[in-house]
Structure 1
Amino acid sequence: MENVIPQLWRTCILAQDAVKPGEPNPLVTMGPFLIIGVMFYLLFMRPQQKEQQKRAAVLANLKKNDKVVTAGGIIGTVVEVSSDNARITLKVDDNTRIKFLRSSIQGLLEDSTDSNSST
């Protein structure tokens, strides 16, 4: 019995963990996540915000005879803008006029026939 206690004592001492160094700085551990967050913002969110601002400016400046394309892919010419600026009437064909919400206009249509005729 006398030999068992010192042996248990030695086993307990040897089984203890080595002295751990201090915990690293939280900024070092969070650094990669912060960098990834900033990169995500710069690569994805900021360009989308700029595109939304550009689209809002185009929609705010729509006027008669602008060629536009809708979110559904319909191409037409603006004939009338309602007094509350919420609805737009597009001329799709000679006798076809369709009313759309301003928010359903995707953007201005660049006239490719003008650029082809000048070359």
Structure 2
Amino acid sequence: MEAIGQFIPLILIFAIMYFLLIRPQQKKVKEHAAMVEALRRGDQVVTQGGLIGKVSKVKEDNEVEVEVADGVKVRVVKSTIAQVLNKTEPAK
């Protein structure tokens, strides 16, 4: 019985860490993955490097082509998109 009593604080610490750190981080990762999957041509995005541009092409191999200035296009890995500023309206 005493052995169980010694493990209760450890279990409580793990539960608190789970609800305060692990679970919110998993939710944030899931939201980022959904945002990256929903990228479409015409969306204005910010990369983790700070580049702001408009998506000109969504490629199948985990890349997007972003136009950062007139005629200047860069290939960006989808997971490095930090934020979508302006979403385009869905095609009907």
Same fold flag (TM > 0.5) = yes
2:53 counterpart SS class: strand
2:56 counterpart SS class: strand
In the other structure, the counterpart of 1:95 is 71
2:66 counterpart SS class: strand
- As a proportion of its length, which structure holds more strand? 2
In the other structure, the counterpart of 1:114 is none
Would you identify which runs of 4 or more consecutive aligned residues in structure 1 move more than 6 Å? none
Please show how residues 9-48 of structure 1 align to structure 2 within 5 Å: 25-48=2-25
2:27 counterpart SS class: helix
Please show how residues 1-119 of structure 1 align to structure 2 within 5 Å: 25-82=2-59, 84-109=60-85
Contact 2:57/2:66 (<8 A) preserved:
yes
Q: Any gaps of 5 or more consecutive residues in structure 2?
A: 88-92
In the superposition, the TM-score normalised over structure 2's length comes to 0.85
Deviation for aligned residue 1:95:
2.4
Change (3 A) 1:90 1:47: same
In the superposition, the TM-score normalised over structure 1's length comes to 0.67
* Aligned mates of 1:65, 1:73 — CA distance in 2: 18
* Count of aligned pairs: 87
Residue type of the partner of 1:57? A
Percent sequence identity over aligned pairs:
31
Deviation for aligned residue 1:36:
0.5
* Aligned mates of 1:26, 1:67 — CA distance in 2: 58
Deviations 1:42-92 (CA, angstroms, capped at 9, x unpaired):
00000000000000000011001111111111111111011x241101011
Q: Any gaps of 5 or more consecutive residues in structure 1?
A: 1-23, 112-119
